[in-house]
Structure 1
Amino acid sequence: MSPSDATADAVSAPVPDGGPGTRPAPAGGGIAEGTDRSTGWSTDQEDTLDLRLPDELLALFETGQPCSDDTDTDTDSVTAPDAGAGHGQQSWGDTTAPASSLTPADCDLLDGVAEWGPITTPVGVFQLVPLRVERDLALVSCWMNDPAVSAFWELAGPQNVTEDHLRSQLADDGRSVPCLGVLEGAPMSYWEIYRADLDPLARHYPARPHDTGIHLLIGAVTHRGRGLGSTLLRAVADLVLDRRSACARVVAEPDLRNIPSVTAFLNAGFRFSAELDLPAKRAALMIRDRSLRDLP
């Protein structure tokens, strides 16, 4: 899940941001096996490692039936998306459309991202809409080829480069849900909401059960440099905490070189916890604690 980030108010952070560095999907993004070389840990004694697998993951192993990504494998028919229309009859402006028309709600380990619904933010009504490759590939690929984004996500090139990354997210047994960020009816950002405690990232920091990670990039240049990164990061982190009662922390690992991204996380209420040596980058471990969410 980890593409590196691009600017955060330019936020191209998988503001998760992470950028490449944790998940196997993005170029240079797979986490290799090995010892934890992280340094600078927080002195918070609660940052301990729990190796017990969550019950929902064990259930997947028992049934042997991973979730389907429910995407169209016919990529020959992919065309550039129309900003005014979505999948089928779904309009991007219609944020109240049934979640079931977007993606299977019972196929993720994140408490049904497709059903989280729209939220009102200081910059307008915002919604995470689970991604569909046949509908969204051309748009996301275009964003990935922006130099400000590709410097950290490393997914520039023909559409199949982005497609491979997206399909790897969708085929990940529900541990990651890639989404478009739709603001006031228009898609303007790409997000990955993922189970950090079930991700290779967990080998590199003291993960806690149900830690939820965020990756983000803001696509349109016109939306960058205006503070949108911080505003939307705070809103989505609050959304995660509101919709996932078992989650006590939202985490991210932006590239340390991506100062705008790190700054956006800090302005969104995340705290800097540690520096992480990940296979593809040196990252800043950013954490938004449920217990501290009301602090400015």
Structure 2
Amino acid sequence: MPPTDASTEADTDPAARVAPGSGPDTGTRTHTGSDPGAATDCEDTLDLRLPDDLIALFARGTERPGDAAAEAGEPWGFADAGVGGVGDPWAGDSGAGGGDLLDRVGGWGPVTTGVGVFQLVPVRPDRDAPLVSRWMNDPAVAAFWELEGPESVVEKHLRPQVDGDGRSVPCLGVLDGVPMSYWEIYRADLDPLARHYPARPHDTGIHLLIGAVADRGRGLGSVLLRSVADHVLDKRPSCARVVAEPDLRNTPSVSAFLSAGFRYSAEVDLPDKRAALMVRDRALRDLL
């Protein structure tokens, strides 16, 4: 399993935020219809052609704020409430992000947190590998993720997920329009991790890395972990638990998960680390 990130610090001041991010953990990881029964009898249908000026008016009406942001050189600009719809710059921009195994992470849309508006945006290696690689080359991060080196190292890590069946979706965490963290949302029950704990169907795992040193140790990681875990539970009705397996040596990461409403379940020996199995239960989300 992939490592666990370098600093998901035990966040003492959730309101304090500088710019882009830090975070907790990492793990390892090693679908999709039409209605054939629709009626086809159209004897009463008239073949009418709309005027060109009316068609142009409709076309202008479909332009969205997210598209304008992208044209203005802001590729991570938030789209409006129709996230995931036609014209959304983030809809289906990753093969894994559009898969059914995780209920289409790319279309989950933004969520309002105590530190700003946050959205998971499926990674596109051609666009995002340089940024993720820069974060991975931070010595504090590299100690746990072990993805330091040339950009090709990160590309090799991302590509199987992006081109896979959707059981693991690498994402940028975009906070108030700024990409500041790297996430992996994955099906823990379909991951090698499931061999090391009593997995349940649809268990969903989280790995998190907060990118900027300035954003670590400020409580940001805990706030985002809680928000994302609850977002998973809201968007995946079949999922009863969100799990994580930070490295036991990564005390700030373990502490951040505890502060985010996860419970410490067990210690597990994974191929590349001894990990703390952290669990956020749907049944306990209002109590922790």
Match of 1:120 in 2: 112
Deviation at 1:91, TM superposition (A): 3.1
Q: Does 1:172 align with 2:164?
A: yes
Match of 2:77 in 1: 93
Amino acid at match of 1:91: P
Corresponding residue to 2:103 among 103, 111, 115:
111
Distance in 2, matches of 1:161 and 1:245, equals: 35
Deviation at 1:170, TM superposition (A): 1.4
Classify the secondary structure of the residue corresponding to 2:91. Answer: helix
Corresponding residue to 2:286 among 277, 288, 294:
294
Match of 1:4 in 2: 4
Distance in 2, matches of 1:161 and 1:88, equals: 30
- Segments of 5+ residues of structure 2 without an aligned counterpart are 11-20, 33-68
Distance in 1, matches of 2:77 and 2:175, equals: 9
Deviation at 1:101, TM superposition (A): 5.5
RMSD of aligned residue pairs (Cα, Å): 2.3
Match of 1:18 in 2: 26
Deviation at 1:90, TM superposition (A): 6.2
Distance in 1, matches of 2:113 and 2:285, equals: 16
Deviation at 1:146, TM superposition (A): 0.4
Distance in 1, matches of 2:201 and 2:179, equals: 31
Match of 1:218 in 2: 210
Classify the secondary structure of the residue corresponding to 2:106. Answer: helix
What TM-score do the two structures reach when normalised by structure 2?
Answer: 0.76
Distance in 1, matches of 2:76 and 2:172, equals: 10
Deviation at 1:274, TM superposition (A): 0.3
Classify the secondary structure of the residue corresponding to 1:128. Answer: strand
Classify the secondary structure of the residue corresponding to 1:100. Answer: coil
**Greater alpha carbon shift after TM alignment, 222-231 vs 167-176:** 167-176
Q: Does 1:197 align with 2:203?
A: no
CA distance 1:295–1:241, shift in 2 (3 Å): same
Q: Tell me if structure 1 keeps the 8 A contact 2:29–2:186.
A: no
What TM-score do the two structures reach when normalised by structure 1?
Answer: 0.74
Q: 1:1-296 to 2 correspondence within 5 Å? A: 2-9=2-9, 15=24, 17-19=25-27, 22-24=28-30, 91-96=75-80, 98=88, 99-100=90-91, 102-104=93-95, 106-296=98-288
Deviation at 1:157, TM superposition (A): 0.3
Q: Tell me if structure 2 keeps the 8 A contact 1:181–1:189.
A: yes
Amino acid at match of 2:9: D
CA distance 1:206–1:158, shift in 2 (3 Å): same
**Greater alpha carbon shift after TM alignment, 98-107 vs 237-246:** 98-107
Q: Deviations over 1:135-183 (max 9, x none)?
A: 1010000000001110100000000011100112213311001000000
Q: Tell me if structure 2 keeps the 8 A contact 1:9–1:264.
A: yes
Amino acid at match of 2:256: A
**Bigger-Rg structure (1/2):** 2
- Segments of 5+ residues of structure 1 without an aligned counterpart are 25-55, 58-84
CA distance 1:212–1:201, shift in 2 (3 Å): same
Distance in 2, matches of 1:188 and 1:129, equals: 11
Distance in 2, matches of 1:108 and 1:221, equals: 34
Distance in 2, matches of 1:214 and 1:208, equals: 15
Distance in 1, matches of 2:243 and 2:92, equals: 29
Classify the secondary structure of the residue corresponding to 1:168. Answer: helix
Distance in 2, matches of 1:8 and 1:101, equals: 29
Q: Deviations over 1:2-57 (max 9, x none)?
A: 232211128865x3x234xx334xxxxxxxxxxxxxxxxxxxxxxxxxxxxxxx79
Q: Tell me if structure 2 keeps the 8 A contact 1:12–1:149.
A: no
